[in-house]
Amino acid sequence: MPESPLPPGSTIGILGGGQLGRMLAVAASQLGLRSHIYSDEAATPAFDVAAARTVGSYADMDALTRFAGTVDVVTCEFENVPAETLEAAARVVPVFPPVRSFAVAQDRLIEKDFLTSLGVQVAPYAPVDTLEDLRAALARIKPPVLLKTRRFGYDGKGQISIRAADDAAAALEAIGQVPALLEGLVRFEREVSVIVVRGQDGELQFYDAVENVHENGILAISRAPARISLSAGVAAKTIAGKIAEALSHVGVLCVEMFERTGERPELIVNEIAPRVHNSGHWTLDACLVSQFENHVRAICGWPLGDTARHSDALMTNLIGADAEKWRALASEAGTSVHLYGKTEARPGRKMGHVTRLFPKS
């Protein structure tokens, strides 16, 4: 079943050229592998650290086929890649993670149905295609609730909160009358996420759960490890492993959860991302083998690397103008500065991150 590993000197193809592609390419280089980046943008962060670059549309099947012909495996740094794009590459070389992981993660309804089928707890939800659907759903799942587009949501985009049943029509209008999902609001103590990596031979490795703080729908801070109980930590990893196995996933997968404490502590899965994830950036500085290297190892059929944490970590995103503080941040002790090489610091844009290390707790 597992293919023989791609030897050093092989080339990985990465669809997408953002900071995740950039950090994947760097991790690949550490293992003696080359990267070829495919992006629909002419100037993009990953191009600066890649052995080869292709600028092309994700709908250009000829360009994708040529690209796939130059590499030994294809992976992806963003989850909203069209299925046809992955399939075009997969006709030429192996593609990891598998297409199914993307299909599930791209559609909130398929995702929720899939998680429910695994016995994983999710927020109450209902599909919404029409105003009638929405009204019926609101009768069952009481406001305040969230109305989310089924597809193409990330960083808080494609969602709106509904505070009263009367707001139904306006909310459906606001998200563009597209197929949607109504989601009950989960009251939680904290947001946690687990980065799991699964190899081609089914080997599973986990990084310790981290605790995340979002601001304006965008990840602001990850704290490793999360301040949760040992049993909650094991439960979080068990859920992530179950999902990775059910998808026959290969590579890194991030599972975001809400922790509800109380008499019976619960973990409610919010969403999954079939890729390296912002809440795993701390692994670059606090682990011997980062999420990026382990993703590369998995897609290349290598043995997975050690996910143990040598230090505790606090990762803070640099959003928009935050990156202007680079000089002050660079002079802080115990701090590692990561900048993504983006020239324009638009508001809400992830420009970099800093990791602060602390002795292991």
Which stretches of the chain bind its own copies, using CB under 8 A? 5, 7-9, 22, 25-26, 29-35, 47-51, 285, 288-289, 297, 302-303, 305-306, 308, 310-311, 323, 326-327, 330-331, 333-343, 352, 355, 357
Backbone angles phi, psi at 87, to 5 degrees: -70, -35
Cα Dmax for the chain: 61
Residue number, 149 or 291, with CB nearest to its own copies = 291
Distance in Å, CB of 281 to its own copies, minimum: 12
Question: For strand 34-39 and strand 11-15, is the pairing parallel, antiparallel, or unpaired?
Answer: parallel
Distance, in Å, from the CA atom of 87 to the CA atom of 93, rounded to the nearest integer, reads 10
| DSSP character string of 166-225 | GGHHHHHHHTTS-SEEEEEPPP-SEEEEEEEEE-TT--EEEPPPEEEEEETTEEEEEEES
- The one-letter code for the residue type at 82 is P
Rank residues 30 and 248 by Cβ distance to its own copies and give the closer one. 30
Give residue for tokens 């075009």.
88
Residue 333 CB burial class (10 angstroms; 0-12, 13-18, ≥19) = exposed
Q: Which of residues 12 and 272 has its CB atom nearest to its own copies in the complex?
A: 12
Please identify, using beta-carbon distances, which residue of 25 and 128 lies nearer to its own copies: 25
- The span from the CA of 16 to the CA of 55, in Å, is 10
Nearer to its own copies by Cβ, of 78 and 326: the residue is 326
Q: How far is the CB of 136 from its own copies (least distance, A)?
A: 50
- For the chain, the residue count is 361
Q: How far is the CB of 5 from its own copies (least distance, A)?
A: 6
Q: Which is nearer to its own copies, 112 or 281 (CB)?
A: 281
Report whether 27 contacts 296 (CB < 8 A): yes
Amino acid letter at 234? V
Collapse the DSSP code of 272 into the 3-class scheme (helix H, G, I; strand E, B; otherwise coil) and give the result. strand
Q: How far is residue 200's CA from residue 185's CA, in Å, rounded to a whole number?
A: 37
Work out how close the CB of 260 gets to its own copies at its nearest, in angstroms, rounded to a whole number: 34
Residue with tokens 């080359």: 34
* Shortest distance in whole angstroms from residue 308 CB to its own copies: 8
Q: Which is nearer to its own copies, 310 or 346 (CB)?
A: 310
Closest CB 328 distance from its own copies, rounded Å: 9
Least distance CB 61 / its own copies (angstroms)? 28
